[in-house]
């Protein structure tokens, strides 16, 4: 076989490959180490090892040198040529370690020293900065400490000045009261001496010695009888009169005709002593006329002796010390109701509305306090009575808790010891302790005395036969002294339940409300009548001793408003379980004037009983449901949960479609909502044309509920400022953007006066500014029908939005990288202390039970049950109106006609309550609050709606144990019964 000759090109490439492969890197020609070179400097024509290569790169003297890596094959020939023309033997070698190339070594040495110096300076600078930082924090601490000290000093000065001003104010007020008291006392004294009919009668009721005034006047005794009265009037009132002005024609009737004037006064000294309110005289029993007139009609020559029942060991009342003022600070009170003497002569006070017990020394100086507000055992909730177990050095305190009445034992240092079960007691009117340290309690409602041992109930004494309304109790030996408020008397009962005696009268114990027995054996009875506080003193046998009156502990004068309030019917709902403070407790509900009232306050302050009692037969009483979203047809309204969802209709009425009969439809829907337990709602308008808003909104006014229907809280406007991609059943041609911000909102709606909630999409341009301005006007902004991501939702919440419209519906679905509006339930960028509420439709159609459970477990405090009911609610299957749409009811679901798109719910609120309870397994208390308290909080009206607390509106529902609706009540009146 013949072969072709090789081509020239192949020889050349072969030569180059051979030369490249034969090239071997020489040793470093820069230093004496003779290490293998890695690069080549084309400026100084030397091979460089790693160290020299690094020196070329970092040292200033080699800045202009060009270095070529030996790995670059393209430069091999140039390097070979350079090496061939370089005399390596004559090149100077710079040894960085040996004493060769001294200039380079010196340069490197100086550089090293400079680096060390700079590092030392850097370290010193760092230390200096750390020191300055510590001083910075120290100075900040000094400044903060100084600021706090200065602030505390100013506060103390402020408190001291306020205290001084209050003292001055109280002194001035007391001075005015004393002057007025002086006048009042003089008037009452005169009336007392002129008006008591007992003075002219014997004990048996017959007139003394057959006297009549005509006989007295004709016998010339006029001056002797009337001159002392005229002198007293002149001294008290500054006017002059004489007995000669009184003629027989003035008194032309006998004794039987002057019963209204039936008291004559004894002689009065013309020089009356100045009235001293701090050293009051004893007001004794009225004296009889026979004390001043002898049987022969002559006047008695001297003042008779004091009545025999006046004892000398009772001193006049004196005010030794006053302390305390209204407030919640140490030494301040808010409705103090019970007190007792402590272990070391301290004064122990049950500060009721501050939920605590305070202890003062006998001079009134604050010593300590204990108790925290709460209904759980170990906490205090409106404590009203306190007593001491002296041998055990423990306190007995009666408060409310979750029961009607609760008794707790605390140690001397205020630590909870144990609870004593007393659910059988209705209202604790008084508490005392026997010598054996058994606890004695009197119930004002029954009335019954209960004797309780340290471990359990011992026995009870039924006092119904001889007592009407007990108000306090004291124990002396084996006898119980009990105030009977309604019978105006004191009842003494022994341990066996026998009534030993009664004493007191309407004159001295008109309204007895406190009792104690002194060590000297005096029975002291606190009483209020004649617009003053009195203390009547009796012996233990019931003999009247004296009566004292406190001059400036003056009772409030009844006003027309008080009279109207007392005349209002007081209703007591008994045999019921009420939802209060997140628990269902067995307790009565008291209602007056459409408001839930505190029965203990009424009992202790007004001393009245219920005028009407309603037996609930064991039913549950819960706050009325509040519907936030109901889209109604203007003829009929569905129920609206007071939370956050708009009910778009009900019973054939759509608020945004039927305009002509709007008021009639609104009233009809309000009426029909009552049968579903809804007592308040927000009628909802879906996206509509501008003219529709202008025609509807001014006519949908807020309206108080009653027998005519549920309360209208304000309108929920759902749209038109929403995202068209999440329009749901909203007409796309009516959806708008916020082109001019808040001006666009006002232009579209016409007026914001009747609007309570606005649903909008937070991703719209200028939405954040609009949200801020709407929320500042008290309008609740809800985000919904939106494509917003989480960050847009968080910005909306920080601008004032507080609500999410029908969670999971008409919004981006949850995604693990961007959860959308659903992520607001767990966002850590929500302002501290702010709750994001969300409406959720629990009709079993719009939201899967698993989604309900997720929302409930993730953010339970913000969950609000809504129905989003539409005009098809309560109607048969078929076609109906929803705004500008035709809807179709098929198989218990509402769709946009001829589509499979859901357009709202046709479930009622009570049905949603049952569905949510079944789907989530939550408690009955929670699901009821999700339909009442939570929507009320979302609207900011939880003080009057959605709760059964004292002072709230008496809007509630009665339910069976299975939460079936039995009846609906508004303002304490039944408006629906099953």
- Reported as type and span, the H/E element at residue 692 is helix 690-696
707 & 805 share domain:
yes
pLDDT of residue 935: 97
Helix extents (H) in 708-843 = 742-749, 767-776, 790-799
Sign for the pseudo-dihedral over CA of 250, 256, 259, 263? positive
Q: State residue 833's pLDDT score.
A: 86
For residue range 601-628, list pLDDT tens digits in order: 887 777 777 889 999 999 999 999 999 9
Per-residue pLDDT for 240 more than 70?
no
Q: Among residues of the chain, what percentage have pLDDT more than 90?
A: 41
Reported as a pLDDT band with limits 50, 70 and 90, residue 905 is: low
Instruction: Check whether residue 643 and residue 778 sit in a common domain.
Output: yes
Has residue 123 been placed in a domain?
no
pLDDT band at 663 (very low <50, low <70, confident <90, very high): confident
Given a contact cutoff of 8 angstroms between Cβ atoms, the answer to whether 502 and 491 are in contact is: yes
Point out the domain boundary residue: 100, 115, 135.
100
- pLDDT for 516-555, tens place per residue? 998 888 999 998 765 667 888 999 999 888 888 776 565 5
All residues at 6 or more sequence positions from 332 whose CB lies less than 8 Å from its CB, including other chains: 324, 325, 326, 354
Cα 955 from Cα 678, distance rounded (Å): 9
Q: Please state the domain count of the chain.
A: 5
The residue with greater pLDDT, 934 or 549, is: 934
Whether 270 and 355 map to the same domain: the answer is no
Main-chain dihedrals φ then ψ at residue 965, nearest 5 degrees: -70, 125
**Is the CA virtual torsion 241, 243, 249, 251 positive or negative?**
positive
Q: Single out the residue of 679, 668, 755 nearest to residue 715, CA to CA.
A: 755
pLDDT at 296: 46
Does 907 reside within a domain?
A: yes
Please name which of 592, 574, 610, 588 lies closest in space to residue 972, comparing C-alpha atoms: 592
Same domain, 725 and 748: yes
d(CA 144, CA 730): 57
Contact 640, 935 (CB under 8 A): no
At 900, give phi and psi (nearest 5°).
Answer: -110, 20
Confidence check: pLDDT of 231 > 60: no
H or E element that contains 10: helix 8-22
CATH assignment at residue 765: 3.20.20.140
Residue 755: its pLDDT value, please?
Answer: 96
Q: Is residue 685 part of a domain?
A: yes
877 and 765 in a common domain: yes
- Whole-model pTM? 0.57
* pLDDT given at position 876: 56
DSSP helix/strand/coil, 388: strand
Indicate whether 807 and 685 sit together in one domain.
yes
Residue 322 DSSP SS3:
coil
Give the C-alpha separation, 489 to 482, whole Å.
Answer: 9
Same domain, 722 and 867: yes
Residue 119 lies in a domain: no
For residue 504, being part of any structural domain is answered with: no
Tell me whether strands 630-631 and 646-647 are parallel, antiparallel or unpaired: parallel
- What CATH number should be reported for the domain holding residue 398? 2.40.10
Q: Is the same domain home to 614 and 630? A: no
Q: What is the residue range of 869's domain?
A: 623-948
Q: How would residue 158 be classed by pLDDT, with cut points 50, 70 and 90?
A: confident
DSSP 3-state helix, strand, coil percentages of the chain (rounded to 5)? 30, 25, 45
Tell me: do 714 and 817 sit in the same domain: yes
Are 230 and 368 contained in the same domain? no
Longest dimension (CA), the chain: 187
Q: Same structural domain for residues 769 and 637? A: yes
Peptide bond into 720 cis (omega under 30): yes
- In order, the DSSP letters of 470-512 are EEEEEEETTEEEEEETTTTEEEEEETTS-EEEEE--TTT-SSE
> How many whole angstroms separate alpha carbon 388 and alpha carbon 378?
17
| CB 783, CB 751: distance < 8 Å | no
Q: Which of 42-56, 464-478, 699-713 has the lowest mean pLDDT?
A: 42-56
Report yes or no on 490 lying in a domain: no
For 947-958, what is each residue's pLDDT tens digit? Answer: 999 999 999 999
Measured in degrees and rounded to the nearest 5, phi and psi for residue 255 equal -60, -40
608 neighbors 594 (Cβ within 8 angstroms): no
d(CA 711, CA 609): 30
Select from 815, 807, 755, 757 the least CA-distant residue to 786.
807
Active-site residue list: 868
By mean pLDDT, which of 141-150, 351-360, 552-561, 892-901 is the weakest?
552-561
**511 in a domain, yes or no?**
no
Distance between CA atoms of 464 and 502, rounded to whole angstroms?
14
Rounded to whole angstroms, the Cα distance separating 463 from 803 reads 57
Phi-psi region of 753 (alpha: psi -120 to 50; beta: other; left: phi over 0): alpha
Mean pLDDT for the chain overall = 78
Q: What is the mean pLDDT of residues 76-85?
A: 53
Choose one of 414, 433, 453: the last residue of a domain.
Answer: 414
pLDDT of residue 77: 57
How many C-beta atoms surround the C-beta of residue 691 within 10 A?
A: 10
| Closest-CA residue to 463 (of 943, 471, 455) | 471
> Of 701, 332, 285, which Cα lies nearest the Cα of 508?
285
Helix (H) or strand (E) holding 182: helix 102-195
CB 887 within 8 A of CB 880: yes
Both 641 and 587 in a single domain? no
Question: Can you give the length of the chain in residues?
Answer: 978
Tell me if 134 is assigned to some domain: no
CB 386 within 8 A of CB 348: yes
**For residues 469 and 146, what is the distance between their CA atoms, to the nearest angstrom?**
59
Q: In terms of C-beta distances under 8 Å and separation of at least 24 residues, what long-range contacts does 814-818 make, across chains too?
A: 818/789, 818/790
Cis preceding-peptide flag for 252 (omega within 30 of 0): no
Residues 6+ apart with CB under 8 A from 122: none
* Distance in angstroms (rounded) separating the CA atoms of residues 669 and 155: 56
Exposed (0-12), middle (13-18) or buried (19+): which is 878, by Cβ within 10 Å? Answer: exposed
Residue that finishes a domain, picked among 414, 436, 454: 414
């Amino acid at each position: 076989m013949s072969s072709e000759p090789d081509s020239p090109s192949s020889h050349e490439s072969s030569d180059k490959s051979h030369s490249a492969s034969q090239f071997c890197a020489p040793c470093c020609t820069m230093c004496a180490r003779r290490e293998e070179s890695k690069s080549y400097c084309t400026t100084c024509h030397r091979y460089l090892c790693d160290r020299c290569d690094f020196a070329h790169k970092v040292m200033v003297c080699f800045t202009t040198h060009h270095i070529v890596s030996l790995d670059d094959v393209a430069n091999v020939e140039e390097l070979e040529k350079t090496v061939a023309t370089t005399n390596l033997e004559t090149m100077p070698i710079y040894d960085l370690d040996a004493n060769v190339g001294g200039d380079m070594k010196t340069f490197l040495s100086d550089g090293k020293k400079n680096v060390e110096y700079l590092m030392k300076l850097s370290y010193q600078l760092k230390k200096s900065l750390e020191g300055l930082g510590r001083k910075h924090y120290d100075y900040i601490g000094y400044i903060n400490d100084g600021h706090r000290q200065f602030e505390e000093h100013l506060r103390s000065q402020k408190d001291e000045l306020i205290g001084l001003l209050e003292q001055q104010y109280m002194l001035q007020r007391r001075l005015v009261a004393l002057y007025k008291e002086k006048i009042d006392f003089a008037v009452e004294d005169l009336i007392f001496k002129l008006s008591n009919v007992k003075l002219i009668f014997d004990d048996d009721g017959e007139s003394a010695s057959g006297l009549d005034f005509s006989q007295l006047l004709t016998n010339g005794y006029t001056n002797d009888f009337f001159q002392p009265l005229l002198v007293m009037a002149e001294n008290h009132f500054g006017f002059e009169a004489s007995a000669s002005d009184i003629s027989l024609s003035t008194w032309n009737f006998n004794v039987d005709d002057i019963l209204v004037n039936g008291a004559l006064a004894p002689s009065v000294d013309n020089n009356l002593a100045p009235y001293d309110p701090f050293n009051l005289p004893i007001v004794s029993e009225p004296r009889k006329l026979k004390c001043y007139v002898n049987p022969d009609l002559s006047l008695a020559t001297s003042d008779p002796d004091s009545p025999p029942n006046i004892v000398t060991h009772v001193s006049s009342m004196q005010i030794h010390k006053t302390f305390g003022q209204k407030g919640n600070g140490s030494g301040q009170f808010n409705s103090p109701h019970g007190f007792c003497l402590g272990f070391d002569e301290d004064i122990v006070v049950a500060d009721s509305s501050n939920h605590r017990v305070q202890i003062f020394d006998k001079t009134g100086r604050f010593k300590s306090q204990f108790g925290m507000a709460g209904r759980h055992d170990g906490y205090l909730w409106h404590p009203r009575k306190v007593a001491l177990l002296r041998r055990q050095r423990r306190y007995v305190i009666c408060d409310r808790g979750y029961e009607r009445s609760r008794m707790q034992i605390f140690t001397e240092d205020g630590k909870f010891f144990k609870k004593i079960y007393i659910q059988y007691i209705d209202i604790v009117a008084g508490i005392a302790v026997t010598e054996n340290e058994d606890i004695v309690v009197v119930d004002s409602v029954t009335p019954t005395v209960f004797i309780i041992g340290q471990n359990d109930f011992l026995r009870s004494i039924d006092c119904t036969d001889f007592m009407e309304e007990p108000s306090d109790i004291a124990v002396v030996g084996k006898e119980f002294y009990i105030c009977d408020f309604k019978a105006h008397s004191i009842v003494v009962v022994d341990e066996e339940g026998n009534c030993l005696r009664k004493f007191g009268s309407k004159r001295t114990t008109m309204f007895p409300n406190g009792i104690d027995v002194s060590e000297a054996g005096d029975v002291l009875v606190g009483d209020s009548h004649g617009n003053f506080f009195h203390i009547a003193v009796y012996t233990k046998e019931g003999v009247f001793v004296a009566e004292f009156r406190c001059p400036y502990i003056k009772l409030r004068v009844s006003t027309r408003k008080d009279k109207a309030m007392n005349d209002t019917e007081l209703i007591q709902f008994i045999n019921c379980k009420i939802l209060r403070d997140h628990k269902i407790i067995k307790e009565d509900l008291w209602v007056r004037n459409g408001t839930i009232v505190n029965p203990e306050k009424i009992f202790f302050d007004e001393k009245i009983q219920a005028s009407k009692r309603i037996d609930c037969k064991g039913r549950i009483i819960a706050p009325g449901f509040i519907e936030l979203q109901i889209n109604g047809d203007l003829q009929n309204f569905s129920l609206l949960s007071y939370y956050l969802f708009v009910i778009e209709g009900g019973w054939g009425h759509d608020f945004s479609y039927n305009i002509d009969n709007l008021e009639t439809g609104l009233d009809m829907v309000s009426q029909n909502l009552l049968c579903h337990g809804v007592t308040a709602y927000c009628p909802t308008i879906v996206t509509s044309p501008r003219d529709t808003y202008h025609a509807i909104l001014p006519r949908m006014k807020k309206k108080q509920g009653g027998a005519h229907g549920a309360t209208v809280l304000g309108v929920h406007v759902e749209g038109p400022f929403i995202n068209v991609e999440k329009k749901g059943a909203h007409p796309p041609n009516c959806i708008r953007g916020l082109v001019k911000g808040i001006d666009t909102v006002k232009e579209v709606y016409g007026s914001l006066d009747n609007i309570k909630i606005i649903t909008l999409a937070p991703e719209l341009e200028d939405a954040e500014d609009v949200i801020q301005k709407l929320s500042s006007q008290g309008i609740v902004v809800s985000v919904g029908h939106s494509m917003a991501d989480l960050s847009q939702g968080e910005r909306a919440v920080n601008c004032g939005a507080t609500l999410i419209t029908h969670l999971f519906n008409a919004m981006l679905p949850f995604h693990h990288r961007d959860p959308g509006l659903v992520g607001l339930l767990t966002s850590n960028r929500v302002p501290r202390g702010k709750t994001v509420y969300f409406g959720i439709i629990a009709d079993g159609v719009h939201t899967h039970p698993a989604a309900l459970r997720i929302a409930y477990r993730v953010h339970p405090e913000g969950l609000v049950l809504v129905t989003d009911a539409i005009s098809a609610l309560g109607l048969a299957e078929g076609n109906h109106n929803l705004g500008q749409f035709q809807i179709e009811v098929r198989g218990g679901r509402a769709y946009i006609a001829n589509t499979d798109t859901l357009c709202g719910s046709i479930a009622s609120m009570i049905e949603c309550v049952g569905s949510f309870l079944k789907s989530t397994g939550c408690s009955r208390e929670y699901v009821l609050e999700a339909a009442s308290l939570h929507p009320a909080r979302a609207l900011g009206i939880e003080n009057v709606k959605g709760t059964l607390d004292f002072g709230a509106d008496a809007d509630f529902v009665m339910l069976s144990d299975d939460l079936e609706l039995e009846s609906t009540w508004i303002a304490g009146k039944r408006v629906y019964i099953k």
